[in-house]
Structure 1
Amino acid sequence: MATPSTPVDFICPGESPEPTESTAAATPGSTESPADHYAENHGFRVPLPLHGQNRCDGLTVVGRVKDALEPLRRRGDFAPDSVRDALSGLGYSAEKVQAYQNGSAGAGFLIDIGVSPWCVEGTMNSGSTTADAFGGYPDGSNCEPPSGGH
């Protein structure tokens, strides 16, 4: 019987060869107090990182999303409808794109890609546009952060 292997990451096209810290690397380790179960009890809310070719595909999608939103950002157009239209213009179904006001001068978005990478989320404001691709959540839900737990 084959044992599962550790996912392999490699430098993606257009990516700097400098190592980046992955979401998994930010997971608390042995410095955690045995009585502190916060991280354990809320692990279901930590997005699954992408690895290998999926990570490269995710970086490509993130680049396309940022490119599509940059004209809006430069104009100061943070209206959720404008953000949704720009992202739908990339070919994502309008039902799979959420856009919302993020503060008084910004917007947030979440795209359920439906294939790997599954999800892209981010924000934009007058200073920048951020986006991140991830593989959903450990509970198997869609791209929405799960609620509940124990």
Structure 2
Amino acid sequence: MELTSLEKCEARVHTGRVTKAFEGASAPTPGAVGDTLRGLGYIDDRVQGLRRSGEGVRFTLDLRLMDGQLCLDGEVTPTGTTVDPYGARGTDDVECADVRRDDRGR
């Protein structure tokens, strides 16, 4: 789903603060990444899928509120942090991580 202009702006803000929080993370673990995200104010229900991936840790932030559709996938590695925003329609039975994305337009 395409993000609205407001959601694109929100995505930039969230991406910046998450990326900054993990600067210098030399050996990330799922526990440490979760603690850092919660320290930024993201509640447990919004932090999803903390899992190891090679030397890094992947996670999903579900930032869908009211009729919003903003989700972020991120990965923290010893060499840096990447965050990828995308849209997912908010329903009770669909998690952000369940959404199949078409990345061909990137």
How far does residue 137 in structure 1 lie from its aligned partner after superposition?
A: 5.3
Most deviating of 83-92 and 114-123: 114-123
Q: CA RMSD in A?
A: 2.4
Alpha carbons of structure 1 residues 142 and 107: separation in structure 2 relative to 1, 3 Å:
same
Structure 1: runs of 5 or more not aligned = 1-47
The size of the alignment, in residue pairs, is 96
Which is strand-richer, 1 or 2?
2
- Cα deviation, 1:7-37, whole Å, max 9, x if unaligned, reads xxxxxxxxxxxxxxxxxxxxxxxxxxxxxxx
| Counterparts of 1:88 and 1:125, CA distance in 2 | 18
User: CA 1:117–1:69 in structure 2 vs 1: closer, same or farther (change >3 Å)?
Assistant: farther
- Equivalent-residue separation in structure 2 for 1:83 and 1:136 (angstroms): 23
Structure 1 position 67 matched with structure 2 position 20: yes
CA contact (8 A) 1:117 1:133 kept: no
Bigger Cα displacement from structure 2, 130-139 vs 78-87: 130-139
Taking the aligned partners of 2:90 and 2:52, their CA distance within structure 1 comes to 27
Structure-2-length-normalised TM-score: 0.75
- Is the 8 Å Cα contact of residues 96 and 112 (structure 1) preserved in structure 2? yes
The answer for the alignment partner of 2:72 in structure 1 is 120
Change (3 A) 1:113 1:138: closer
The Cα of 1:126 is off from its aligned counterpart by 1.9
Match of 1:95 in 2: 45
1:141 CA displacement: 2.2
Aligned equivalents of 2:32 and 2:99: distance in 1?
A: 27
Task: Return structure 1 stretches of 4+ with deviation > 2 angstroms.
Answer: 114-118, 137-142
The answer to whether the 8 Å contact 1:50/1:117 transfers is yes
